[in-house]
């Protein structure tokens, strides 16, 4: 590229809940001057809309019928990511326990996935300097030609400890059970389940600090850019 500017790079980061995808992706994107997309926030946003509009979450046909209605907009600055639904800032309400308990059911509906996947691809295509996209099916389905694919893992115990720290000391056992229940639902759905792409680099974060994980991923991106 002219003037030695770096080529845009597309990085896909997938993995189960609490493995550090959001924290790592935001920091890596900020450090490397890339855009950042939290695809879980998009599935949470459409779930919030379904709940707010009284759609029966146990009825996939009802969900499918209205999947195209809400307008979801994601801001991709890693230092200040945003998410709106029909112009309303939903960054706080999408993190409630109610949305968390319903998001796996909504995101399993094929019409929802088709809609959100299209949105994700168009955001990635528009990212001039490149983008870090995090989720569950980015390397396998959304961006199968990503330049670099990372699959983060961590033991259920480490993930539960991280989450209960975040939730100000929530019970460790019930946090662990809730994480595993969501992982099982996300991994077993028919349409683009949570899975590691064959060509993804797996990083077990159980015994790594967040700073170590970020450094590891930054190094992998730099090596990829250098053609190593």
Dihedral sign for Cα atoms in the order 173, 175, 179, 185: positive
Q: Which is nearer to ligand LCLUPRNS, 174 or 219 (CB)?
A: 174
Cα 21 to chain center, whole Å? 7
C-alpha–C-alpha distance, residues 188 and 100, integer Å:
17
* Nearest distance in Å: CB 38, ligand LCLUPRNS: 7
C-alpha–C-alpha distance, residues 196 and 124, integer Å:
20
Residues making up the annotated binding site are: 15-23
C-alpha–C-alpha distance, residues 134 and 203, integer Å:
14
**Which stretches does DSSP call E strand in 69-180?**
72-75, 82-85, 88-89, 130-135, 148-153
**Which stretches does DSSP call E strand in 22-123?**
35-38, 72-75, 82-85, 88-89
Q: Which of 10, 12, 14, 17 binds ligand ATP (CB under 6 A)?
A: 17
Q: Which of 28, 37, 40, 102 binds ligand ATP (CB under 6 A)?
A: 40
Residues making up the annotated binding site for ATP are: 15-23
* Nearest distance in Å: CB 125, ligand LCLUPRNS: 17
Q: Using CB under 6 A as the criterion, which residues of the chain lie in contact with ligand LCLUPRNS when the complex forms? A: 17, 39-40, 43-44, 103-104, 107, 135-138, 182, 186
The site partner of 81 among ligand ATP, ligand LCLUPRNS, none (C-beta below 5 to 8 Å per kind) is none
Number of residues binding to ligand ATP, judged by CB under 6 A: 16
Residues forming contacts to ligand ATP in the complex (CB under 6 A) are: 15, 17-23, 40, 162, 166, 205, 208-210, 213
């Amino acid at each position: 590229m002219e003037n030695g500017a770096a080529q845009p790079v597309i990085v896909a980061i997938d993995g189960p809940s609490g493995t550090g995808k959001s924290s790592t992706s935001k920091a890596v994107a900020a450090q490397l001057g890339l855009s950042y997309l939290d695809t879980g926030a998009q599935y949470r946003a459409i779930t919030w809309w379904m709940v707010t509009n009284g759609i029966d979450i146990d009825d996939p046909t009802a969900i499918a019928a209205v999947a195209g209605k809400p307008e979801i907009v994601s801001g991709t600055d890693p230092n200040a990511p945003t998410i709106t639904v029909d112009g309303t800032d939903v960054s706080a309400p999408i993190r409630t326990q109610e949305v968390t308990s319903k998001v796996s059911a909504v995101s399993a509906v094929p019409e929802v996935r088709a809609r959100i996947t299209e949105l994700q691809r168009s955001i990635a295509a528009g990212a001039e300097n490149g983008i870090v996209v995090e989720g569950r099916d980015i390397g396998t389905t959304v961006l199968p030609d990503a330049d670099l694919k990372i699959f983060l893992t961590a033991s259920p115990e480490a993930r539960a400890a991280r989450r209960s720290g975040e939730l100000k000391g929530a019970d460790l056992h019930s946090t662990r059970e809730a994480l595993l229940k969501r992982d099982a639902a996300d991994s077993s759905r028919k349409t683009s389940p949570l899975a590691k792409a064959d060509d993804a680099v797996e990083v077990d974060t159980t015994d790594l600090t967040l700073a170590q994980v970020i450094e590891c991923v930054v190094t992998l991106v730099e090596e990829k850019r250098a053609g190593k």
